[in-house]
Structure 1
Amino acid sequence: MQKIVDAAITDDDNQKADEARQNLNQQQQRVNDFENQIHLQETVMSELKAKLISYHRQFKTASERAESLTQQQKQAELQAEFYQLFAESENPDDSHAFKQAEIRLKETEAKAELWKERNQKTREKVEKSEKDLNMDEALAALKDEILGNNKND
């Protein structure tokens, strides 16, 4: 484009030179606009990536906390049941109360084991999702999609 401007100036064709300069300026403005859009989109993508990572960490922390609270709740319930059973026994030395407590303990331990396995499976799914989810690739694909749409304008 600059060659056209130079040629028009050399040929002393001011109108053609002005048109060429105007076209050159418009093209440069488009280039600048596209560069600004790309920079803005890169900034947005970086922010989205940071927010996704933050959300994932919060989710993982909440999941771990929920698991811990569930375990504490079950332990407290078990202790309450034992002391209630022991208190309801007519004779504190009665082995029947201990047998009942042992039965309930085994039932509760079985429930706890089921929950533990369930939580482990959930944790494994989350960890697998983390490995399978490559945020850089997903964001790059999104960026290409956005930029691809702008290139058609």
Structure 2
Amino acid sequence: MKRLKEISEQIREGITEFMEAVDGTESLLDKTILDMKKRLAEAKDLVATAMAEEQRLKRAYQEAIDTAEIWGKEVDTASQMDDPGRASKARERERQHLLLADDYKRQIDVQETVVARLKAALHEFYHEFRDTVKRSETLCQRQKQAETRVEFYKKVYQLLVNELDTHVSKVFEQAEQKLKATEAEAEIWEDKGRAATADTETDGDNFNLDQALAELKDDVLGSGRK
């Protein structure tokens, strides 16, 4: 009983220290659960040992009662045979076994109380273990959720602050380069258009209609006919 109480107190102290001192990391939680499983197994062994002792005492008690009954019958037999010496010895042996049975009965009563208390303590300890496992699972889940949130918002931040800025800058840079190239091409074609217009105007100023008709006539009628 004392040993089980010590184990239970150690576990409670360990849980308290753990919850106060650690940040809920999974490895420490696993270590705590494994330690509690080990101590729970030890507690079960203590209860099993106590129950086995109770059964041993009950068997010893019954054996003492049965032996006392045998000596009691021996007393009756010796009395019927008118053998006082034999009857006296048998009566003494009967008394000794009855006293032994009484002693076993007192031990049984004490042991039954011990077993009942041990079972109650083990039951309480087991529920404490289950609660600890649930708390551990909850903390692990919250830890994973927190880590996922950190990773998600970290990536969002990097995208918005770093990658997005870089991407936007590149897009605007490409757009500006394309605009400059288009403007340069427009200027080239504008210059070419101006030059072509100037050539046309010059040709118009030097144009002789009579000469053009004479040349056309020669082409049609032949240069030999005048």
Q: Give the TM-score, by structure 2 length.
A: 0.34
Higher Cα radius of gyration: 2
Q: Give the TM-score, by structure 1 length.
A: 0.45
